[in-house]
Amino acid sequence: MTSLPRYPSEKKLGLVIDLDTCVGCQACVVNCKEWNTGGYPAPLSDIDAYGAAPQGAWLNRVHAFEVEPKDGNPQIVHFPKSCLHCEDAACVTVCPTGASYKRQADGIVLVDEDRCMGCGLCAWACPYGAREMDPGVGVMKKCTLCIDRIYNEALSEEERQPACVRTCPTRARHFGDLADPDSDISKLVAARGGMDLMPEMGYRPTNKYLPPRARREGRTGEAPRALEPANPEGGFLAWLDRLLSD
């Protein structure tokens, strides 16, 4: 089995996703597919893309939930999902070939496709459903945080961000170093009560979600209020479950 880095990464690169401003347009999904089909490390397959039973690998997906807060005003929450680059990544420790690994330098979790034998153990170990088997080549694929973009000095500094971040029209996606308390995204997490996804699993995901805020008809000139206090206990899914249960 594969081991995680012995010491915590000094840098923890990841995403902060604002559920308040994500409109579910799928632009991040499409641009992720486009960039990674021609980028690191190999194309993402599509089989019978326009047929009756299309198959393919996508590294980013957006789900939608309808919730009804206590004030009775229904609200759609769009929930983007990709690899969370966990600190205690079980997908790495179950890999029998060492294909899945976590980088010491920046905490990014990657797959060496030359070593992947397509056993699927990492997908079973991931509680977030963030890994996908590529049906064209029979190996596991996942979000790389566009590692071939963020370290590419041939690109302008503005372009050295994941494709999904650069393409988001509502700026719902943010990228940076979550180990640095003075980084812009760390300050955003602190200000908005950023939450882990399923923290009870103990995997300590790097990526954070910012909870959506209430929509009130007829309210102007006031900052929107949270649907309920942003309590990190239970994470986003527990928050959503409480709303659906009311």
Each residue's pLDDT, cut to its tens digit, for the chain (246 residues) gives: 678 888 888 899 999 999 999 999 999 999 999 998 876 666 788 888 888 988 888 999 999 998 876 767 778 889 999 999 999 999 999 999 999 999 999 999 999 999 999 999 999 999 999 999 998 899 999 999 999 999 999 999 999 999 999 999 999 999 999 999 999 999 999 999 999 999 999 999 999 999 987 665 544 444 444 445 555 566 666 666 665 555
Q: What are phi and psi of 78, to 5 degrees?
A: -95, 130
What lies within 8 Å, CB to CB, of 109 at 6+ separation is 83, 85, 86, 89, 91, 92, 100, 101, 102, 103, 142
Question: Contact 171/179 with Cβ under 8 angstroms?
Answer: no
Q: What are phi and psi of 26, to 5 degrees?
A: 75, 10
CATH topology of domain 13-47+54-216+225-245: Alpha-Beta Plaits (3.30.70)
Residue 109, helix vs strand vs coil: strand
| Token digits of residue 129 | 């459903």
What lies within 8 Å, CB to CB, of 42 at 6+ separation is 113, 137
Please tell me the distance from the alpha carbon of residue 83 to that of residue 127, in angstroms, as a whole number: 10
Please tell me the distance from the alpha carbon of residue 48 to that of residue 104, in angstroms, as a whole number: 39
The pLDDT of residue 223 is 45
pTM of the predicted structure, to 2 decimals: 0.83
Element (H, E) at 77: strand 75-81
| Token digits of residue 145 | 């945080």
The pLDDT of residue 213 is 78
Question: Contact 188/171 with Cβ under 8 angstroms?
Answer: no
Cβ-based neighbour number of residue 55 at 10 Å: 14
